[in-house]
């Protein structure tokens, strides 16, 4: 549901009242978060009349913000859509699950929690590297459940930095030019996956989370938490160093994925299922 990089965010204080948190979205964070959220929706027609949208909630900072943004969007009476938060419990520790439920209650997020034993199965069947199997199972179960619930769209909390990091990971380690797109069909073709946070920078999400006292979960995975390094973290650190030296590099990488000149790309194929952008593997 989100990319796993386990970095705890320490809130500046206790969680603020939900009314104050909601108000901050349209005031303090109007320019860096709300306006960019609305721009993505309008640019890519992500929310349409009659949509039934499931919000994939991991319990992390990105998805909790996404749920509140949709609550605010619902106040716009000109938009006719339904939404509901849906979460997949892959086998969280009880303390993490309790914190997650506490956040949902305090933030006034109505969420359907689907209990599974994904982590147990993945660790048994792929002990050396359970992450790929875990991600595949999470996607498969979540998509199936969302379809069963009658939703036609699933919105995910991937943000601006996720797009850039995924682009670089694919180029550096997978040998392909591929990124996360704002809207894409799931494998079954029954769902559209949408990403309304693609213009929102992670730093602004972190600030919103800290200032409002939201104690968001990290990934919750004991295996990921035990890692001292990962390809995504390496790329994140590399981009941070480049951005510090030359501000604007991240935006340039982001822009490059909207400005591809096929006359200067060799090996490009169109219509080849292997190369089509269908269901990202980085979720």
Is residue 262 over pLDDT 80?
A: yes
The tokens describing 274, both together, are 């292997």
More confident residue, 112 or 186: 112
State the Cα–Cα distance between residues 170 and 34, nearest whole angstrom. 29
The tokens describing 188, both together, are 């079954």
Is residue 267 over pLDDT 80?
A: no
| Residues 128-175 pLDDT 10s | 777 778 888 888 899 999 999 999 999 999 999 999 999 999 999 989
Which of 37-41, 146-150, 266-270 has the largest mean confidence?
Answer: 37-41
Q: Of 142-151, 183-192, 215-224, where does mean pLDDT reach its minimum?
A: 215-224
Domains in the chain, please, with CATH? 18-258 (3.40.50.620)
Which region holds residue 111: left if phi is over 0, alpha if psi is between -120 and 50, else beta?
beta
Please, which pLDDT band fits residue 36 given cuts at 50, 70 and 90?
very high
What is residue 127's three-state secondary structure?
A: coil
Q: Of 34-38, 88-92, 133-137, where does mean pLDDT reach its minimum?
A: 133-137
The tokens describing 225, both together, are 């938490």
The model carries a pTM of: 0.88
Torsion sign over Cα 257, 270, 231, 220: positive
Find all residues with CB under 8 Å of 222, minimum gap 6, and list them: 93
Scanning 149-201, the segments in alpha helix (DSSP H) are 160-169
Please, which pLDDT band fits residue 11 given cuts at 50, 70 and 90?
confident
- pLDDT computed for residue 93 by the predictor: 87
- Is-contact 21 68, C-beta < 8 A? yes
Mean pLDDT (the chain) is 88
Torsion from C-alpha of 229, 233, 239, 242, nearest 10 degrees: -20
């Amino acid at each position: 549901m989100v990319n796993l990089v386990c970095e705890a965010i320490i809130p500046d204080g206790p969680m603020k009242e939900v009314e104050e948190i909601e108000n901050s979205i349209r005031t303090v964070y109007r320019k860096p978060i709300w306006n960019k959220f609305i721009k993505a929706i309008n640019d890519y027609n992500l929310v349409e009349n009659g949509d039934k949208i499931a919000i994939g909630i991991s319990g992390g900072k990105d998805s909790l913000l996404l749920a509140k943004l949709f609550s605010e969007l619902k106040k716009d009476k000109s938009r006719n859509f339904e939404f509901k938060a849906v979460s997949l419990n892959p086998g969280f520790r009880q303390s993490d699950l309790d914190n997650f439920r506490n956040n949902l209650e305090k933030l006034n997020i109505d969420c359907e929690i689907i209990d599974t034993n994904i982590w147990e199965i993945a660790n048994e069947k792929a002990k050396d590297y359970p992450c790929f199997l875990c991600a595949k199972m999470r996607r498969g179960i979540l998509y199936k459940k969302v379809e069963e619930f009658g939703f036609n769209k699933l919105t995910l909390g991937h943000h601006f930095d996720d797009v850039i990091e995924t682009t670089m990971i694919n180029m550096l380690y997978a040998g392909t030019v591929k990124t996360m797109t704002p809207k894409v069909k799931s494998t079954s073709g029954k769902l559209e996956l949408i990403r309304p946070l693609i213009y929102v920078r992670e730093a602004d999400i972190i600030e919103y989370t800290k200032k409002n006292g939201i104690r968001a979960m990290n990934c919750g995975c004991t295996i990921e938490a035990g890692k001292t390094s990962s390809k995504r973290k390496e790329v994140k650190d590399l981009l941070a160093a480049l951005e510090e030296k030359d501000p604007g590099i991240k935006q340039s990488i982001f822009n490059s994925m909207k400005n591809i000149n096929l006359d200067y790309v060799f090996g490009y194929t169109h219509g080849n299922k292997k190369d089509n952008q269908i269901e990202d593997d980085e979720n």
